[in-house]
Amino acid sequence: MPLRHLLLALAVVAVWGTNFVVIRWGLAELPPFAFAALRFALSSLPFLPFIARPATPWRTLASFGLLLGAGQFGLLYLAMRSDISPGLASLVIQTQVFFTIGLAMLLRGEGLRPLQGLGFALALAGMGLIGLHVTGAAGAAGVSALGLMLVLGAALSWAVANLVARSAGRVDPIGFMVWSSLTAVLPLTGISLATEGGPTHLLQQLGAASAVAWAAVVWQAVGNTLFGYGGWNWLLARHPAATVAPTALLVPVFGMLSSSALLGEPLPPWKLGAAALVLGGLALNLLATRSRA
């Protein structure tokens, strides 16, 4: 990967890592699916008159929008409302790397290299260490069983979205994000209306939201979605998934440090140990990818 592409990847993961704190600020005032619907509405509707639809089928746009919107962020926001801390969420979501590589291997019939097998084992041990601290509610550990399962589901949705993005080829990354975001708005709005109190209650909550909550929505749309996923998809169109995906190992570094600094999330030894195991597994996968290249 050329240096300028690597710098873009680092900028994206820095935005994604610190964004977990921003998500928590938004969820303090907004319901999760309504928050996600607003995010994708602002990622698409203001830009549609100015950005042409990319030369890719509607089914590709709709698949990516559904996986990213209702799949990844719907589940992630739901978990982060009360079932997992921002720092742990930023770590667990990185299992998308293993889901992405595993799915790519399955579809292409490739085998698992020994170093990658060790990486998967380390990451699994890290998830197991988190699992040992899972309780019925998030509590002092910062994670519940429901929260862990929801974030793992979000990671799987992200992995499948990565493969869909690669199948689109070298299309305009911003146009792809704008038009795919449009397809995420309707399902998220429907889920919100069905589960978060109906139109009147939702309008009351939106009307009572502070400037901080609305700033969180705007940042989700512009910084995290358009810049983050636009840049990510641009990289996926030019490099193998196994090369791009491991750069996301820095997301939990930014996520855990920013959550500790800004939200006071504790970082006991077991959290640091779990992070070391997962990040070690991600790093070994990156080394295996470099070795193959």
**What pLDDT score was predicted for residue 290?**
61
pLDDT in tens, 70-87: 899 999 999 999 899 999
Structure tokens given for 44: 């698409």
Mean pLDDT on 143-172: 89
**Distance, CA of 159 to CA of 232 (rounded, Å):** 12
Specify whether the CB–CB gap between 251 and 94 falls below 8 A: yes
Q: What's the confidence (pLDDT) of residue 106?
A: 79
**Banded pLDDT at 22 (limits 50, 70, 90):** very high
Sequence-distant (6+) residues with CB within 8 A of 60 are: 164, 167, 168
Give, in degrees to the nearest 5, the angle at Cα 66 between 219 and 185: 55
Question: At 230, is the pLDDT very low, low, confident or very high (cuts 50, 70, 90)?
Answer: confident
pLDDT of 291 strictly over 70:
no
Q: Which residue range forms the structural domain that includes residue 95?
A: 3-292
pLDDT confidence bin for 138, thresholds 50/70/90? low
CA–CA separation, 196 and 202 (whole Å):
7
Q: What is the mean pLDDT of the chain?
A: 87
Per-residue pLDDT reduced to its tens digit, 168-226:
887 888 888 889 999 999 999 999 999 998 888 888 888 899 999 999 999 988 888 88
What's the predicted TM-score (pTM) here? 0.86
pLDDT at position 110 is 60
For the chain, the domain total comes to 1
158 and 75 in contact (C-beta within 8 Å)?
no
Is residue 273 pLDDT above 60, yes or no?
yes
